[in-house]
Amino acid sequence: MVAQIIIQHGDKLYYPAVEEGITLEWNRKGSPGKLKFSVVNDDVIDFQEGDAVRFSVDGTDMFYGFVFEKSRSSSAPYLIEVTAYDQLRYFKNKDTYNFINKTASEIVSMIAKDFQLRVGVLEDTGYKIKTLAEDDVSLFDMVQDALDETLQAQTRLYVLYDKVGALTLQNIESMKLNLLIDAETTGSYTYTSSIDSQTYDQVKITCEDSDTGKRSIYIAKDSAHINEWGLLQYTDSVELSGNGAVKADALLRLYNSKTRKLSVSDVLGDIRVRAGCSVVCKLSLGDIDLQSFLMVEKVTHTFKNNEHTMSLNLRGGTFVA
C-alpha cells in the first residue's frame, strides 16, 4: 500500500515525508471531510493555511481539500501536524436565503455558485419545495432542511459529500457496496441495546380546535410492551383532529422497539467506504444475529505501518447512530 500526500503552495508542489498515522474522517451530514497528518519539517517544505492538499492511496485519489490548521509541539519540534478539510468546510458559513419552488439539488447548485465551489454530479431529487426560508443559518442546515423535506415527501434519502474536490449529491440506494463486515474482517465491535432513548410504547396525540376550543385526545399503545418495559409515553399535538389517530399509530410503529447502536473498529480498510454508503453486516451480537445492509453514518480511515483499517458507526432499522 502506497499512501501519498501532495501539498500545493502557489505554483510549487511538495511531496512531504509524512509520519505514520494518516486519518481521513467522513460523516454523513453536518461535517466536512477531515484529513489529519504530520509532515517532517525540513529545510525545503514551505506551505500555509489555505494551500491545497491531495491524498491518494495506491494511485487512487481519496481526498482533495485545504489546509486549515497547523500545529507544532516542543515534544516533537521536527513535525508539523496538519488538519485539512474538503469543500464542505465552507458549508459552515451562515447566510440568509428564501428558496421558492426549488428542489434540494437546485438549492445545492445555487449555494455552490454563490460561494464559488466546484460541483460534480448532483442527482435530481425531483421534489419541488414550495418555499424554504432560511435566516442566518449555516449552509449545512439549509441543505439538510431541504433533504429532510424531500425525505418526508418521497421517502428518498440523499447524501451530500465532496468527491475529491467536487460537490456530489447521491441517493443512498446507489451507494450500496458489495462489502462484508463480519467477525473475520472486524477487530472489535461495541454494541448497545436500549429502551432509554427514542423508545415509546404509548403515543398520546392532542388535537385542539382553534374555533371551538374543543380538545380531542388520541392514544395508541402496545400493552405487551407496557407490561414488559413500563409505560414510556410520547406526546405531541396536531391541528386537524382527523390526523390525530393516524399520527398516533404512525409514531407508535416508529418508536415501539428497542434502539440499538453499533460501531466496529479495526476493520480491513476499503477505499470505497464513505459516510452514506451501505455495507453488509453479519455479526452475532448476543441477543440478535445481524445479517443485513447497514448504512455508514461515520467512517474513520487510518493508514499506519503500511496497513489500512477503518472504524465505522452504523445505522439502519432499529440501529441508530
User: Under a CB-based contact definition with an 8 Å cutoff, are residues 123 and 105 in contact?
Assistant: yes
418495559: which residue's cell? Answer: 229
Q: What is the pLDDT of residue 214?
A: 82
d(CA 216, CA 214): 7
| Planar angle of CA 100, 105, 109, nearest 5 degrees | 85
Report all structural domains of the chain as residue ranges with CATH numbers, in order of start.
3-85 (2.30.300.10), 90-173 (3.55.50.10), 175-194+259-315 (2.40.30.150), 202-255 (no CATH)
280 - beta bridge partners? 180, 293
d(CA 10, CA 93): 25
Q: What is the mean pLDDT of the chain?
A: 94
Amino acid identity of 140?
F
Q: What is the pLDDT of residue 232?
A: 97
Write the pLDDT tens digit of every residue in 131-150.
Answer: 999 999 999 999 999 999 99
pTM for the model stands at 0.89
**Position 321 pLDDT exceeds 80:** no
Write the pLDDT tens digit of every residue in 74-127.
Answer: 988 899 999 999 999 999 999 999 999 999 999 999 999 999 999 999 999 999
